[in-house]
Amino acid sequence: MSKLELKNIHQSFPSKKQTTMVLSDISLKVNDGEFVSIIGPSGSGKSTLFHIIGGLLMPTSGEVLLDGTPVTGQKGLISYMPQQPALFPWRSIEENVILAQEVAGIARDHALAAAREWLPRVGLGGYEKELPHVLSGGMQQRVSFLRALLSPKELMCLDEPFGALDALTRQEMQAWLLNIWEQNKRSILFVTHSIEEALYLSDRIYVLSNKPSTVLEELVVPFGRPRQEAIMKDVLFQELRQHIQGHLRKEVQHDQGR
């Protein structure tokens, strides 16, 4: 059974001067326990797509299905990690982690117990009572990620979660995410700019065009699990990277040519 399915999603934003077409007939799916990435040029509507999946935005046309049930425009069905960590500055780290659980109606004691169990596992033991401002960017991302992970929703949508991190922290976080995901196998839809990141983490990748964006290609990643970082040195990995890069480079040239 398919967990998430988007069918023929179109999105345009009308304004006085002109209507901007952002998404043009996007169809994709995330199967049960699958790690799927979306990669596309900046401004191609990836965050917009997440807003539609999360029910924050009603698509101009098209349908969102969860487990085969139409849920277009319904909020609160997925776990969502936004592009920025979006922590509440006045809430302690553990209180930030339990937010999604609280919203879902899980008892505070129970939620706090889960947060306290997980925080040390992500290198944040001892920070439970601190406020977000004492944490580095990478640490804040981990708090935001834990919040999404502990939310009792089957599907996690992560919007460029590591985009703002330096290369080294980013590598650590990727390995860490992979490890946690391989233990839990939640369905994940992951947006990224980085071709390497998408190839390293995903089961499947959708490559989007410039806006009005369409799916240029759906690619099945041929590497097994558990994944090792060493696959990045594999010849096949490099070939696939170049293949996707070719697609995206054409998009950038096309954009500049307009």
Ligand X SMILES: Nc1ncnc2c1ncn2[C@@H]1O[C@H](COP(=O)(O)OP(=O)(O)O)[C@@H](O)[C@H]1O
158 binds ligand X per the rule CB under 6 A = no
Of the residues 8, 20, 74, 238, which one makes contact with ligand X according to CB under 6 A: 20
Closest approach of Mg ion to the CB of residue 213, in Å: 12
- For residue 172, the SS3 value is helix
Residue 140 Cβ, how far from Mg ion at the closest point, in Å? 18
Q: How far apart, in whole angstroms, are the C-alpha atoms of residue 237 and residue 114?
A: 37
Beta carbon nearer to ligand X, 47 or 61:
47
Pick the piece of the chain touching Mg ion (CB under 5 A) from 38-46, 101-109, 115-123, 198-206.
Answer: 38-46
Q: Please name the residue ranges forming H helices in 119-221.
A: 137-150, 167-184, 195-201
Tell me if 22 contacts ligand X by CB under 6 A: yes
Query: Which residues from 165-224 bind ligand X, rule CB under 6 A?
Result: 211
By CB neighbour count within 10 A (0-12 exposed, 13-18 middle, 19+ buried), where does 153 fall? middle
Write the CB contacts of 49 (distance below 8 Å, at least 6 apart in sequence): 6, 9, 11, 23, 26, 38
Phi, psi of 178 (to 5 degrees): -60, -45
Give me the DSSP letters along 113-126.
HHHHHHGGGGT-TT
Looking at beta carbons only, is 40 or 132 nearer to ligand X?
Answer: 40
Least Å distance, CB 115 to ligand X, is 29
Which of 2, 31, 47, 169 is close enough to bind ligand X by CB under 6 A? Answer: 47
- Work out how close the CB of 158 gets to ligand X at its nearest, in angstroms, rounded to a whole number: 13
Among 12, 27, 47, 171, binds Mg ion (CB under 5 A): 47
Selected from 28, 45, 135, 187, the binder of ligand X by CB under 6 A is: 45
Contact 158, 188 (CB under 8 A): yes
Q: Does 9 bind ligand X (CB under 6 A)?
A: no
Q: Say whether residue 150 binds ligand X (CB under 6 A).
A: no
Residue 48 as a binder of ligand X (CB under 6 A): the answer is yes
Kindly state whether residue 194 participates in binding Mg ion, applying the rule CB under 5 A: no
Whether 161 contacts 141, CB under 8 Å: yes
Q: Is 18 exposed, middle or buried (0-12, 13-18, 19+ CB in 10 A)?
A: exposed
Instruction: Report whether 29 contacts 9 (CB < 8 A).
Output: no
Residues in contact with ligand X by CB under 6 A are 13, 20, 22, 40, 42-48, 211
Question: Which residues contact Mg ion (rule: CB under 5 A)?
Answer: 46-47
